[in-house]
Amino acid sequence: MEIALVGIGKIAVDQHIPAISDNPDWELAATVSRHGTVKGVPAFTDFDTMLEERPEIRVVSLCLPPVPRFDYAQKAILAGRHVMLEKPPGATLSECHTLEALARKHRVSLYATWHSRQADKVAAAKDWLSDRRLRKLAIRWREDVRQWHPGQDWVFEAGGLGVFDPGINALSILTEILPVPVHLTGAELHFPENRDTPIAAQCAFHHPDGAEVTMDLDWLEPGTPTWTIEAETDTGHMLLENGGGTLTIDGQTHDARPGLSGEYPRLYAQMAELVASGGIDMDLAPLCHVADAFLLGRRIAAPRFDW
């Protein structure tokens, strides 16, 4: 299938383009970007022009920041194209619901991707937790924004999510591996005085069986990132590290691999299946937790942040 990739930034270059190139189901037939291109692939700077001039391209993958993404997704769906959304699927829950309704009306596939759910050991962690009673679970997602989003001011602008941009990866794993749903009960959000989104956050969740569930996010962590989910149960201890790439159960580590190993190839394999079956996958559970954090969170002033 021919696919157009919109937004040729770091994540597209590092993950999307290799995943498409290595998958026999896909052919990268066009790109849309104001600045980036891919050697040997027809490049457009205007999305409307691409839709008009390349009607044979039936699938569009959107790698834009969340705020402008709705307009692009809406245009693609109205043009009869199947749409794949980089995480988060939108800037608000309302626009995501609108896109899903529109996709159903026009009978096209729509996929809200959560790449961290495809990390190597997430499925094993889910299986291990499935029949155990949870007592405590702690998420620690700490990294350096200067390393992962150098100079990208949009992450600190309204709608950019701030530290929840990486934090939603942890939430996508949490909502995948727990056998029962949780909901947020409180949060402290640390906003730099010169920014619109938080640079750190601490969150607490309600678990139906009374387990203690917490999350600690920090975007000023120097050195090696910490991407861990640690769980204590009635019959053992689980540590999911490296963004889901490494699983340790009761002290025994299982096949440590890089956190992004296989994630985007599995996303594109899933998109191929959705297009073939006419399916839609718009799970919004991780974004619901982020929205709840902004609704319930207590704002705490933090020092200004400059690159």
Question: pLDDT tens for residues 160-170?
Answer: 999 999 999 99
- Among the three residues 76, 94, 112, which one is the final residue of a domain in this structure? 112
Element holding 127 (H helix, E strand): helix 122-129
Q: Does 100 share its domain with 160?
A: no
Compute the distance between CA of residue 11 and CA of residue 243 in angstroms, rounded to an integer. 16
The one-letter amino acid code at 35 reads: H
Q: Are 126 and 101 in contact (CB under 8 A)?
A: no
Nearest to 63 by CA among 130, 15, 135, 131: 15
Nearest to 170 by CA among 229, 225, 223, 124: 229
Q: Does 107 share its domain with 199?
A: no
Q: Does 156 share its domain with 298?
A: yes
Query: What is the pLDDT, as a whole number, of residue 67?
Result: 93
Under-70 pLDDT residues of the chain: 255-261
Query: What is the pLDDT, as a whole number, of residue 256?
Result: 64
The residues annotated as belonging to the active site are 87
Compute the distance between CA of residue 164 and CA of residue 218 in angstroms, rounded to an integer. 9
**Count: domains in the chain:** 2
Q: Does 73 share its domain with 126?
A: no
Q: Does 106 share its domain with 138?
A: no
For the question of whether the overall pTM of this predicted structure is more than 0.75, the answer is yes
Q: Supply the range of the domain harboring residue 68.
A: 2-112
Domain of residue 37, CATH code:
3.40.50.720
Q: Are 140 and 170 in contact (CB under 8 A)?
A: no
Q: Does 103 share its domain with 18?
A: yes
Query: What is the pLDDT, as a whole number, of residue 257?
Result: 63
Between the two ends of the chain, the Cα-to-Cα distance in Å is: 41
b/e burial code for range 187-224 (CB count within 10 A of at least 16 → b): bebbbbeebebbbbbbbebebeeebebebbbbbbbeee
If you search the block for the tokens 């809406």, which residue do you land on? 74
Token pair listed for 293: 């954090």
